[in-house]
Amino acid sequence: MEVLIALAILGLVAASIVTLIGQSTRFIADQEEKMLAGMLADAAMVELLARRSALERGETEKARTFAGRNWKVKVSVEAAGFAGLVRLEAQVLRENGPQVLARALTVKSEAP
């Protein structure tokens, strides 16, 4: 009887450990995805900030492949409300999902 109880307790502990490992693996995968999305958002922002010519106002969406994954990168350029300043925003989403995984936001001077 004692052996059966010990085996039952061991089974519960093993099941708990397997569950924790699964949760940890999902968490790591989510964090990796968010890190990669953040890198893409930063890269999109650097591209906008590096342009010397005036930026075209509006929103654009591009499909990108990075680290073996497909992403959507949405870029928005709009007036910031002050003369010579524009508001830049880059959002990165999964290719087939509505959730924003990373966002970068800044302003840029377009004054001559």
Structure confidence by residue, pLDDT tens digits, 36-59: 999 999 999 999 999 888 888 999
The domain spans of the chain are: 2-109
**2: which 2 tokens?**
């004692």
Is residue 43 packed enough to be buried (19+ CB in 10 Å), middle (13-18) or exposed (0-12)?
middle
pLDDT band at 97 (very low <50, low <70, confident <90, very high): confident
First-last CA distance in the chain: 86
**34: which 2 tokens?**
């968010």
- Give the residue-averaged pLDDT of 63-68: 93
Residue 1, pLDDT > 90, answer no
Percentage of residues in the chain with pLDDT exceeding 90? 79
Residue 83, pLDDT > 90, answer no
- Give the residue-averaged pLDDT of 64-79: 94
CATH of domain 2-109: 3.30.1300.30
Residue 9, pLDDT > 70, answer yes
